[in-house]
Structure 1
Amino acid sequence: MARSAVRHQPHPAAEPASEGSAPAGATPMMAQYIEIKAANPDCLLFYRMGDFYELFFADAETASRALGIVLTKRGKHAGADIPMCGVPVERADDYLSRLIALGHRVAVCEQVEDPAEAKRRGPKSVVHRAVVRLVTPGTITEDRLLDPARANLLLAVGRRKLSDSAFAYGLAAIDISTGRFALSEVPGADLPGAIARHDPREIVLSEAILSDPALARLWQETRAAVVPLAQAELEPAAAERRIREQFGVSTLDGFGQFSRAEIAAAGAALLYIARTQIAARPPLSVPSREAGGATLSIDAATRANLELTRTLSGERAGSLLEAIDRTVTANGARLLAEHLSGPLTDLAAIARRHAAVARLVEDQGLRGEIREALARAPDLARALSRTGLGRAGPRDLAAIRDGLDVAVALRDRLAQAGDLPEDLARLGDHLGRADPELAATLRAALSDDLPLARRDGGFVRAGFHPEIDESRLLGQDSRKVVAALQARYAEATGCRTLRIKHNNVLGYYIEVPQSVGEACLKGLMQEFVHRQTMVDAMRFTSVELGGLETKISGASDQVLALESAVFEDLAARILAQAEAVAGIAEALAGLDVAGSHASLAVELDWRRPEVDESLSFAIAGGRHPVVEAALRRAGEPFIANDCDLSGEGRGRIRLITGPNMGGKSTFLRQNALIVVLAQMGAFVPAASARIGRVDRLFSRVGAADDLARGQSTFMVEMVETAAILNQATRRSLVILDEIGRGTATFDGLSIAWACLEHLHEANACRALFATHFHELTALGQRLPRLDNATLKVAEHRNQVIFLHEVVPGVAERSYGLQVARLAGLPAGVVARAGAILKGLEKAERERPGRPRIDDLPLFASLAPPPPPEPEPAADDGLARMLDAIEPDAMTPREALEALYRLKRERSGAG
């Protein structure tokens, strides 16, 4: 797991003297840089100089290493060279994304006055600069810096004291790229799981919470950047005031009842956003409060074991999310991930989601038209957020226009569909909330070909604004005049290669080849003024050309000013309906998720589950969605299996034995994933499923050392098992695999035995318990709610065939030697292991108890064993039967039956 970037905010005095103040002798520009850097010591400072952002001193060295760009020098400071590197302004987003991904924070320092104003103050005056925003992992809004399918959450943590040793923690989850704002409170034991569920990019909290020894490991292990805030800035009264100011209200009563911990978290988040966004205020939704127990509780270890949104290696590919995602919009993909991370426990809400999916499964035409329309929908939520922050470009306004058009089309289509399930009807209502005039105005105002930035101009459609049209016409006519003037000058000088050109330094100028430059001077001495001599050309100007330049420049500037005013007006119209537009974005995402579930169900034959208040758990023909997808790509079938853990008042436990590679872990995980899918509102990979509502899901599958924490495999196993046994309720589902295998045989057996009894008697929950301790199967006769099951296998000539079929009963043996042979262990090692195994089994029969090593003979020689004796030749009938078999075309069951036929044939021939 990646180590988080824990960044403190030191006082400027903590910076090195060379960068903390501007000593005598520093140039005015460097003095300005040092002053701004001292105010932002914990950030890399992007210092705007013309068309580049420059970095100096230690920032330059850090950025050079991180970005792989050249480190140069610029002058001296305190007697030493000043390290420097820079990035072009037009490519700044690319470099910012790389720095943010590495955990850095960046202060963007812009020129905030016209350079001409600085010149008027004196020759040594520098352009005023100021930090306009801090770019941090949890506060970015630019499309090129964001993953379109992943929420970019800033998570703030507050707390309140319950007793001398217990706290409740408030969580404020804000995505300023979409405006989402959610509050919740969890007990201390659930804090790691809640953070894992939100999967934030950045966490802000008080210094007191960060320094709490009980939470130190949590902050060290989180993937997110962790930023502490001074305790003095987080007073409760100040936190509530910040919330009121953000939403312009005098009281929070209209938003609902929030705990002190939730208000503290919300205040910390808003403080951090204000600090990073400087003067900009993002358009956040009114904070929604999630009630305790509203979502299926899944701890961090279980999320990792089940690979819900990413694999153990941190990749999306291979996760459950990647396997089920059929969304067609970025907003829908983010909502799908949110639903998967927090499945519901409210039965009515689950049923509403299932009903919406069922309607789209049944109505292929409606489903197809909805998904076709959604595929044209841009990311409305993020475009709206950038508009509110003043960072939008013309394409963001066009995205809102196009999103509103798609919403109207979908609203009309849903209205034609007749009687709709409650969720689909509600989404249809939200789609029509914006004023139709807004979309009409945006269509009329924006041209078809839009630039990326509004400073580039040209985005207002011809005919929308008369003054802009007039100024553009003036500019176009002036260009014609320039062309006519060039032709006249060429004729007067006799120089056909004379050209009138333009650059940002000289403006408009006349350029002729060096060879005819003097002739031009002689011919038009009174009109031409020499400006510049180049290696192969000479440049001139004239009074007439200077006047024309002023006219053209004025027209261009006027067009840009008028277009900027139109842009501001359009943005204001959008923000006046921000709440309605945000609701439309949510509705589009909701439709996309429902359509994704429906498409998945139709494509893979998934079925609607029944989720109720019972303690049922009856899965018929269940399949693992990720493994099945992988097998399908390889052209192989998946063996479906049933699972019934239903109980009255108490759940049942199924104890599963069988060989490694037989499919135990797959079977365990698939049933846990079916619960997650069912309660998130999706259909499930099964022939049928009836599931009594699960409140907490626990999974302890697989083993790994945690050397960074100084914990062995067995310690990790015991810590996770302890959490399960201490927290599981009757409504929980527990998945346990190989408990006790990390220690001595009798120790491990004893622990596994005691855990099984505790699950049965104390937790009374539904559970799947896989083990290699065959002795535990005897508990099936003593514990009334425990059933034995095994993975079916077949053997032929010392080869084992895994059928991946779960059946009642007990495994007769572990097949460890056969698996070792399949894994490629040397033949001599496998043969010697077989001999040792026979000796151990014989010693156990003769002297019950643990056999001693000195009871067994040592291998006489380390030389390879003699080759096996050749098999007797088969008769002609047996050979013909073998020739007729096509192994690649057979199912496992057909292969087993063929083996039996061969065996009978051979016995008859003998």
Structure 2
Amino acid sequence: MTDQPTPMMVQYLAIREANPGALLFYRMGDFYEMFFDDAVAAAAALDIALTKRGTHQGEPIPMCGVPVHAAESYLLTLIRKGFRVAIAEQMEDPAEAKKRGSKSVVARDVVRLVTPGTLTEESLLEARRHNFLAAFATVREESALAWVDISTGAFQVMECSLPRLAPELARLAPRELLAVEGADLDDLAADAGAALTDLPPGAFDSGAGARRLSALYGVETLDGFGAFTRAELSAMGAIVDYLDMTQKGKLPLLRPPVRERAGGAMQIDAATRRNLELTQALSGGREGSLLSAIDRTVTAAGARLLERRISAPSRDLALIHARQDAVTALVEDARLAADLRDALSRVPDMDRALSRLALDRGGPRDLSAIRAGLTQGAGIAARLPEDAPQVLLDAARDLTGHDELIDLLDDALVAEPPLLARDGGFVAPGHEADLDETRRLRDEGRGVIAGMQADYIALAGVQSLKIKHNNVLGYFIETTTTHAEKMLAPPLNETFIHRQTTANQIRFTTVPLSELETRILNARDRALEIERGIFERLRGAVLDQAAAIGQAARALAEIDLAAAFADIATGESWSRPRVDDSRAFLVEGGRHPVVERALKRKAEGFVANDCDLTTGETPAIWLLTGPNMAGKSTFLRQNALIAVLAQAGAYVPARRAHIGMVSQLFSRVGAADDLARGRSTFMVEMVETAAILNQADDHALVILDEIGRGTATWDGLSIAWAVMEHLHGANRCRALFATHYHEMTALSARLDGVENATVAVREWEGEVIFLHEVRKGAADRSYGVQVARLAGLPASVVERAREVLTALESGEREGAARPAALIDDLPLFRAAPAAPAPARAKESPVDARIKAIHPDSLTPREALDLIYELKSLTGETA
């Protein structure tokens, strides 16, 4: 005989079956409970106790739970560990279920499916980063990528072939990627750090997608938003369908979709983003990246805009110049820039507040954030001069016209409202008379009763009359029986209604007292009910102005970014680059912003260097030689970062810069393997190099470091040689090519546009000193043995390396056919004898005299005499 599941467990299993692939948070009073496999998985992930509740099919049911009030922190942990969570709430008061019978179960249903790409709570999001949900769709020969951040409402789409998907995912770094079942995008999603969610083909139907979008925006046709391909409609429709499913019909406030123009931004592939550490350091995390080094924004929206600009530098020349003009205006008016940054520092995140309000997850503080943001925005707009650059004037325009909403919110809300509407206390006194009266009854009930008692004493002429309260009668009027005849006789009996007579007292009530009692007892609930109604009215007023508020939020982000770029330009001596459509690439006194920042922390200076790849229509390639640790990789990267900053609209870390439009940026720097896919370091290097050679056009900027180093010397040299020739003859692009193969320096005499450059070093008494200066010319050797010594290799190993190197170099000069034969003639490696302890030096007269000195006991005159004495001991005269 098997045990029958309880009605509650039957309900749980039914809800669980309807939401496969997600942990079920099942609301039971003040806890979300989990059972069966969900409980086992959640207990391990959250490091909480696993208990048991009842049995199922003869086995104990595993169980664990988390408090409702602390659920967000647990959700964050689960989402970061790759889980999806279905939230099942109680849909009725448990008292209502009891009325139906002892075996009735409280009605429950899933109100939301929490996934990595659908987060809106402030505690679950990174304030300074977007949280994108992306969808990739293919319809016949067309493919498209759509993405949305439901916490801000940003919604975009673009045509995107499968080969372009990896670079675009690297740019967006979505938290979740939607794809049709069987699309086999697991590796691409994993590389981008996105959770992959497979959806049935019906979710990607382009016709249904168009209808979903039209219904969402309340339009008959999407023509007003742009001409979308079937693949784009498919991808956008899949996102809307998924949001409808996860949010259980409460769709977020999405802006009209924007179609991103192909070729509108600098093309940067995933490997280049990783190598250049644009938004994330190779070690993981933001610290150490370009984004971290240059982020001077003071608002969350401004920080997110900065990340977008760095991730996708523009190729629109007019737009770049307009953004530069805004930065220049604030560089030249430091006082205005400081005032703007001070005001912006008090601007909350309106985008995310607006999104929470739209999804009915917001509270009074979100209304307050809208009020504060619009108020600060109006003040910022008033500060901007009439002759400001167009970017700033456009922003000022979007920040005005919100006075009516500001006044409404200012009148309705207290200065510091609570987080949740259910807590009450967020409506300002004087906003609504009924609420003020209800609060007075709630907070000053005794005073109101005392006032009524005084009125009744005057009316009855009985000084001993009292208004009292007990749990049986509630509020009542009491006087001694000596006044009974008077109180029961006309005209007082028309006001005072007899309730009870005791041995010494007689008790009455009145209609106003009964009404007041009801109002006092219900005042707390009534006050909360009135405030909830006011909250909904204010929320509705805000959502009616959602589009204008969104525009204001974007305007504040634009001003914040311009002011941030101006701040770093002024503080770090950056200059405005000249950006045009030419093939120029001239940088004078260029610096690496991340490395320079790190050196400043150590009170060390950065050695600036020039770079000139300007050669008109011919290819322009610098072949860079020099030892490791001399700064070749830093030089390569800094010039790539300068191009990124220039086309992002920022000033650049250089004395002067002229950047011809860079269409594509490619970087092959550093060593990494991909063992999970069976790729060695050399294979990864070759795959990335192949991508560059197959894609780079004549407006690309390519930086390559040590191509061919992962294989045998002659193989590596031959590959590097061929790659150089291909860049020059086929790609015809601008490039910086660092190598240890000194034989390649001969190419400068054979290929037009190829110049040799080297990172200077100096030897001093066997030591190698890195000057970090890039000069024209070629290095004569690599100094690898010296670098090995600096790294701490045992002295015997370093000495043996010198012997072998000398033999090889000698054999090469003498034309030896087999270098190995020369090595065979060398004696085998022997451990070097331990170095003798250094002989103890005889103490000099100066040392002996100094040891005998007691500085604190010397007078000024004695100290001066001592200096002359010490000079005489060294043989010097005054």
TM-score bucket (shorter structure): 0.7 to 0.9
SS at match of 1:621: strand
Q: How many Å apart are 1:863 and its aligned residue? A: 3.2
Contact 1:454 1:564 in 2 (8 A): yes
Of 345, 351, 354, 2:315 maps to 345
Match of 2:412 in 1: 445
Label 1:103 to 1:546 Cα distance change in 2 as closer, same or farther (>3 A).
farther
Match of 2:162 in 1: 188
Asked whether 1:635 is paired with 2:603, we answer: yes
* Greater mean deviation of Cα atoms: 712-721 or 275-284: 275-284
* Greater mean deviation of Cα atoms: 474-483 or 697-706: 474-483
Match of 2:258 in 1: 288
Mapped partners of 1:579, 1:53: distance in 2: 36
Match of 2:871 in 1: none
Asked whether 1:202 is paired with 2:176, we answer: yes
Mapped partners of 2:18, 2:663: distance in 1: 49
Mapped partners of 2:823, 2:441: distance in 1: 106
Label 1:28 to 1:827 Cα distance change in 2 as closer, same or farther (>3 A).
same
Label 1:501 to 1:797 Cα distance change in 2 as closer, same or farther (>3 A).
farther
Of 369, 374, 379, 1:404 maps to 374
Of 756, 775, 786, 2:743 maps to 775
Mapped partners of 1:78, 1:291: distance in 2: 59
Mapped partners of 1:756, 1:341: distance in 2: 28
Contact 2:301 2:349 in 1 (8 A): yes
Q: How many Å apart are 1:796 and its aligned residue? A: 1.0
Mapped partners of 1:634, 1:621: distance in 2: 21
Label 1:860 to 1:173 Cα distance change in 2 as closer, same or farther (>3 A).
closer
Q: How many Å apart are 1:547 and its aligned residue? A: 11
Asked whether 1:307 is paired with 2:274, we answer: no
Asked whether 1:225 is paired with 2:203, we answer: no
Mapped partners of 1:652, 1:175: distance in 2: 41
Match of 2:684 in 1: 716
Of 70, 88, 99, 1:120 maps to 99
Q: How many Å apart are 1:650 and its aligned residue? A: 2.9
Letter in 2 for 1:442: L
Q: How many Å apart are 1:216 and its aligned residue? A: 5.0
Mapped partners of 1:356, 1:604: distance in 2: 18
Match of 1:601 in 2: 569
Match of 2:361 in 1: 391
Match of 2:346 in 1: 376
Match of 2:83 in 1: 104
Q: How many Å apart are 1:848 and its aligned residue? A: 3.6
Mapped partners of 1:846, 1:760: distance in 2: 33
Of 700, 722, 735, 2:668 maps to 700
Q: How many Å apart are 1:801 and its aligned residue? A: 0.1
Match of 2:788 in 1: 820
Q: How many Å apart are 1:840 and its aligned residue? A: 1.4
Q: Which runs of 5+ in 2 are unaligned?
A: 452-468, 475-500, 503-512, 845-878
Contact 2:206 2:231 in 1 (8 A): no
SS at match of 2:760: strand
Asked whether 1:457 is paired with 2:457, we answer: no
Label 1:49 to 1:552 Cα distance change in 2 as closer, same or farther (>3 A).
farther
Of 696, 700, 713, 1:745 maps to 713
Asked whether 1:325 is paired with 2:325, we answer: no
Q: Which runs of 4+ in 1 moved over 4 A?
A: 479-484, 545-553, 865-871
Mapped partners of 1:692, 1:57: distance in 2: 62
Of 223, 226, 239, 2:209 maps to 239
Please list the CA deviations of residues 762-820 of structure 1 after superposition, one character each: whole Å capped at 9, or x if unmatched: 00000000000000001111001100000100001111000000001110111011101
SS at match of 2:352: helix
Contact 2:52 2:60 in 1 (8 A): yes
Match of 1:334 in 2: 304
Match of 1:898 in 2: none
Contact 1:478 1:548 in 2 (8 A): no
Letter in 2 for 1:792: A
Letter in 2 for 1:713: T
Q: How many Å apart are 1:850 and its aligned residue? A: 4.3
SS at match of 2:278: coil
Label 1:81 to 1:868 Cα distance change in 2 as closer, same or farther (>3 A).
closer
Contact 1:54 1:86 in 2 (8 A): yes
Q: TM-score, normalised by structure 2?
A: 0.87
Q: How many Å apart are 1:849 and its aligned residue? A: 3.7
Match of 1:252 in 2: 222
Mapped partners of 1:783, 1:850: distance in 2: 31
Mapped partners of 1:318, 1:480: distance in 2: 64
Asked whether 1:567 is paired with 2:535, we answer: yes
Contact 2:3 2:55 in 1 (8 A): no
Mapped partners of 2:440, 2:736: distance in 1: 77
Contact 1:839 1:856 in 2 (8 A): no
Q: How many Å apart are 1:478 and its aligned residue? A: 3.4
Match of 2:820 in 1: 852
SS at match of 1:852: helix
Mapped partners of 1:35, 1:866: distance in 2: 77
Asked whether 1:585 is paired with 2:553, we answer: yes
Mapped partners of 2:583, 2:261: distance in 1: 23
SS at match of 2:756: strand
Mapped partners of 2:5, 2:447: distance in 1: 50
* Greater mean deviation of Cα atoms: 392-401 or 256-265: 256-265
Contact 1:615 1:651 in 2 (8 A): no
Mapped partners of 1:151, 1:316: distance in 2: 14
Mapped partners of 1:85, 1:869: distance in 2: 67
Please list the CA deviations of residues 260-297 of structure 1 after superposition, one character each: whole Å capped at 9, or x if unmatched: 22111101111111110002121111111111000000
Q: How many Å apart are 1:845 and its aligned residue? A: 2.5
Label 1:427 to 1:790 Cα distance change in 2 as closer, same or farther (>3 A).
same
What does 1:470-619 correspond to in 2, within 5 Å?
470-478=437-445, 552-619=520-587
Please list the CA deviations of residues 141-193 of structure 1 after superposition, one character each: whole Å capped at 9, or x if unmatched: 0101110000011011112333xxxxx43111100001011111123322100
Match of 2:238 in 1: 268
Contact 1:616 1:691 in 2 (8 A): yes
Q: How many Å apart are 1:221 and its aligned residue? A: 2.9
Q: How many residues align?
A: 790
Please list the CA deviations of residues 554-598 of structure 1 after superposition, one character each: whole Å capped at 9, or x if unmatched: 221111111111000000000111000000000001110111100
Percentage of identical aligned residues: 55
Match of 2:456 in 1: none
Q: How many Å apart are 1:862 and its aligned residue? A: 2.2
What does 1:666-685 correspond to in 2, within 5 Å?
666-685=634-653
Asked whether 1:360 is paired with 2:330, we answer: yes
Match of 2:111 in 1: 132
Mapped partners of 1:407, 1:220: distance in 2: 40
Of 600, 625, 628, 1:660 maps to 628
Bigger CA radius of gyration: 2
Match of 2:479 in 1: none
Q: How many Å apart are 1:856 and its aligned residue? A: 3.2
SS at match of 1:862: coil
SS at match of 1:327: coil
Mapped partners of 2:813, 2:389: distance in 1: 67
Letter in 2 for 1:63: A
Asked whether 1:41 is paired with 2:20, we answer: yes
Q: TM-score, normalised by structure 1?
A: 0.84
Mapped partners of 2:378, 2:260: distance in 1: 30
Asked whether 1:174 is paired with 2:135, we answer: no
Letter in 2 for 1:92: A
Label 1:740 to 1:426 Cα distance change in 2 as closer, same or farther (>3 A).
same
Q: Which runs of 5+ in 1 are unaligned?
A: 1-22, 163-167, 485-499, 509-525, 528-544, 877-910
Please list the CA deviations of residues 83-122 of structure 1 after superposition, one character each: whole Å capped at 9, or x if unmatched: 1111111111111111111111111111111222212211
Of 95, 101, 105, 2:74 maps to 95
- Root-mean-square deviation (CA), in Å? 2.6
Q: How many Å apart are 1:551 and its aligned residue? A: 5.3
